[in-house]
């Protein structure tokens, strides 16, 4: 029985709060805090209506202000913080956890506001501080990063002697009925996908132009979809933690309509992160764009279709080549019916809750800063399906693209 502080009242925070409230034996007291307290109150009212969880409270906090965080943590005294606000706040929340002696978990790695660049180096630099404090920090415990790392750890533990080729494949086969919207925070999402592509090949990174490499990949229950090679943060930790990998790539599906909108947004400068002066005020174009795009948290009601995210892995088992595919499909409608949030928030929030549960139950433990693939995948995957994200695996079938080695 533990107290937990959830920071961030967006789509993912909604799902985490719902899912934690379904397990009062583990999360006995839950506080949801965000910049805007009314958003927390709204979520908590919905959760109370659906789960009868009594010990839910809310607070307002600026997660970029360490003294404010420290004072909130000291007054509530949680065992851990689940951080599902924005990647800009990773370091301030880690600092506050160190100062107050509580564990930490997040779903996205740190990104400085003035540079669209996500790398683990800033958070890995906290290794000694967390070790010395005897605290655990778990990084990237959503779906991707998150479950994709746990899937890879399962493959390495149970299915291969060595893994050589990893392709993480992320398909959103859903339709929200809007001309253009992002499935999670538009600012973070657009910063990530408009970067240059990058993949790991034979011990080094190979860079590509954005959207330069496209394949048509076949997704279970969804079918073939245009998939583009992107750089995604888990490639950095997975290539470090599984040094036998000769190649690691990340693919994400985008429809033509989405790409056309994106091209226009970029061409007219609306994806820019440098401030422009407008009527005497400095405005960051991408922040303004976020304000006029649909809120990802509101996409759920009419969202149809499914997401399908998995790992396609090749390697060697008992001296023979082996292919292995592990994945989850998640229905947007089912996610919405349960939590009021669409599938992308759901597939992120469920693993965040489950990772926190693993920590509180002592199944994932240790002092220091960890990526999820460093822990035992078994207890996590044992529960993942039961808690809303059933997964499937197949060996030695060819779901792959034409040049898959
Ligand atoms: P939203 O934009 O919907 O929600 C983010 C919330 O963070 C908002 O409610 C906002 O507060 C709050 N927030 C922002 N700044 C502050 C601050 N300074 N102090 C306190 N609260 C703040 O995002 P999502 O819910 O879609 O995403 C949440 C996180 O999950 C992001 O980091 C995203 O990158 C990550 N993610 C990870 C995925 C994975 O698979 N690993 C997939 C999808 C998302 P308010 O509204 O109160 O002002």
- Is it true that the peptide bond before 144 is cis, omega within 30 degrees of 0? no
Last residue of a domain, one of 139, 155, 187: 139
Q: How far is the CA of 319 from the centre of ligand 1 (A)?
A: 45
Ligand 1 atom at shortest distance from the alpha carbon of 13:
25
d(CA 73, CA 290): 30
Ligand 1 centroid to residue 7 C-alpha, Å:
9
Q: How many other CB atoms are found less than 10 A from the CB of residue 131?
A: 15
The pTM score is 0.95
User: For residue range 49-93, what is the model confidence (pLDDT) as tens digits?
Assistant: 888 878 999 999 999 999 999 999 999 999 999 999 999 999 999
Tell me if 349 is assigned to some domain: no
For residue 355, which of 11, 12, 9 has the smallest C-alpha distance?
Answer: 12
Q: Residues 299, 10: contact at Cβ < 8 Å?
A: no
Q: What values do phi and psi take at 383, rounded to 5? A: -100, -20
Q: What is the pLDDT of residues 257-279, one digit of tens each?
A: 888 998 899 899 998 889 999 99
In a 13 Å sphere around the CA of 320, the CA atoms on its Cβ side amount to 7
Query: Do 277 and 232 belong to one domain?
Result: yes
Q: CA-to-CA distance for 228 and 213, rounded, in angstroms?
A: 6
Q: Among 92, 192, 348, which residue has the most ligand 1 atoms within 8 Å of its CB, making it the best to mutate?
A: 348
Judge if 111 and 250 occupy the same domain.
Answer: no
The ligand 1 atom nearest the CA atom of 147 = 40
* Residue 51: Cβ-neighbour burial (10 angstroms; 0-12, 13-18, 19+): middle
CA distance linking residue 85 with residue 355, whole number of Å: 17
Boundary (domain end) residue, out of 114, 139, 164: 139
> Does residue 176 share a domain with residue 90?
no
Q: Which ligand 1 atom minimizes the distance to the CA of 62?
A: 19
Instruction: Identify whether residues 58 and 38 lie together within a single domain.
Output: yes
294 and 251 housed in the same domain = yes
Looking at the fold, whether 187 and 122 belong to one and the same domain comes out as no
CA–centroid distance, 373 to ligand 1, in Å, is 23
Q: How confident is the model over 169-191, as pLDDT tens digits?
A: 999 998 998 888 988 888 788 88
Average of pLDDT values for 129-140? 98
Instruction: Return the pLDDT at 402.
Output: 43
Question: Would the pLDDT of 193 be above 90?
Answer: no
As a whole number, mean pLDDT of residues 374-394 equals 98
Tell me which residue has tokens 């909108």: 261
* 366 SS3 class: coil
What is the Å distance from ligand 1's center to 185 Cα? 6
Residue-wise pLDDT tens digits, 4-34: 999 999 999 999 999 999 999 999 999 999 9
Ligand 1 mean position, distance from CA 8 (Å): 5
Mean pLDDT for all residues in the chain: 94
Same domain, residue pair 106 and 168: no
Examine the pLDDT at 99 and tell me if it is beyond 70. yes
Give ligand 1 pocket residues (Cβ under 6 A).
8-13, 34-36, 39, 61-64, 84-87, 89, 107-108, 142-146, 184-185, 188, 296-297, 344-345, 348
**Cis ω before 145 (30° cut-off from 0):** yes
The rounded Å distance from CA 10 to ligand 1 centre is: 5
Report how far apart the first and last C-alpha atoms of the chain are (Å, whole number).
Answer: 48
Say if residue 106 is in the same domain as residue 248: no
Backbone φ and ψ of 45, nearest 5°? -65, -40
- At 404 the pLDDT is 40
Place of tokens 């706040």: 89
Residue 13 structural domain? 2-139
Give the tokens for residue 189. 């999402």
Mean pLDDT of 206-227: 94
- Axis-axis angle for helices 343-360, 147-154 (nearest 10): 60
Q: Calculate the CA 225 to chain-centre distance.
A: 22
Q: By percentage, how much of the chain surpasses pLDDT 70?
A: 98
Task: Centre a 10 Å sphere on the Cβ of residue 273 and count the other Cβ atoms it contains.
Answer: 16
């Amino acid at each position: 029985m533990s107290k937990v502080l959830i920071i961030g009242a967006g789509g993912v925070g909604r799902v985490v709060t719902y899912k934690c409230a379904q397990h009062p034996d583990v999360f006995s007291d839950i506080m949801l805090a965000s910049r805007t307290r009314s958003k927390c109150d709204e979520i908590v009212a919905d959760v109370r209506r659906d789960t009868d969880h009594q010990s839910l409270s809310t607070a307002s906090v600026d997660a970029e202000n360490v003294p404010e965080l420290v004072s909130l943590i000291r007054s509530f005294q949680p065992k851990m913080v689940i951080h599902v606000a924005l990647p800009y706040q990773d370091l301030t929340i880690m600092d506050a956890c160190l100062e107050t002696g509580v564990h930490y978990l997040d779903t996205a790695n740190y990104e400085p506001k003035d540079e669209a660049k996500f790398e683990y180096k800033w958070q890995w630099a906290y290794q000694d501080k967390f070790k010395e404090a005897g605290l655990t920090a778990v990084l990237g415990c959503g779906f991707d990063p998150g479950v994709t790392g746990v899937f890879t750890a399962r493959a390495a533990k149970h299915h291969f002697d060595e893994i050589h080729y990893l392709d993480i494949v992320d398909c959103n086969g859903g339709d929200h009925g809007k001309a253009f919207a992002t499935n999670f925070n538009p600012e973070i999402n657009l910063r990530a996908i408009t970067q240059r592509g990058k993949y790991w090949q034979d011990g080094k990174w190979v860079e590509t132009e954005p959207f330069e490499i496209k394949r048509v990949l076949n997704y279970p229950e969804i079918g073939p979809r245009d998939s583009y090679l992107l750089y995604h943060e888990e490639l950095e930790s997975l290539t470090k933690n599984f040094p036998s990998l000769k190649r690691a790539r990340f693919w994400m599906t985008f429809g033509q309509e989405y790409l056309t909108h994106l091209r226009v947004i970029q061409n007219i400068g609306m994806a820019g992160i440098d401030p422009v002066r407008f009527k005497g005020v400095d405005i960051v174009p991408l922040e303004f764009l976020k304000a006029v795009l649909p809120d990802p948290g509101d996409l759920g009601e009419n969202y149809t279709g499914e997401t399908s995210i998995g790992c396609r892995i090749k390697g060697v088992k008992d001296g023979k080549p082996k292919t292995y595919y592990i994945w989850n499909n998640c229905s947007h409608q089912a996610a919405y019916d349960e939590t009021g949030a669409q599938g992308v928030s759901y597939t992120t929030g469920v693993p965040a809750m489950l990772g926190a549960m693993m920590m509180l139950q002592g199944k994932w433990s240790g002092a220091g800063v960890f990526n999820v693939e460093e822990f035992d995948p078994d207890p996590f995957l044992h529960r993942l399906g039961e808690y809303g994200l059933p997964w499937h695996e197949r060996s030695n079938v060819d779901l792959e693209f034409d040049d898959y080695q």
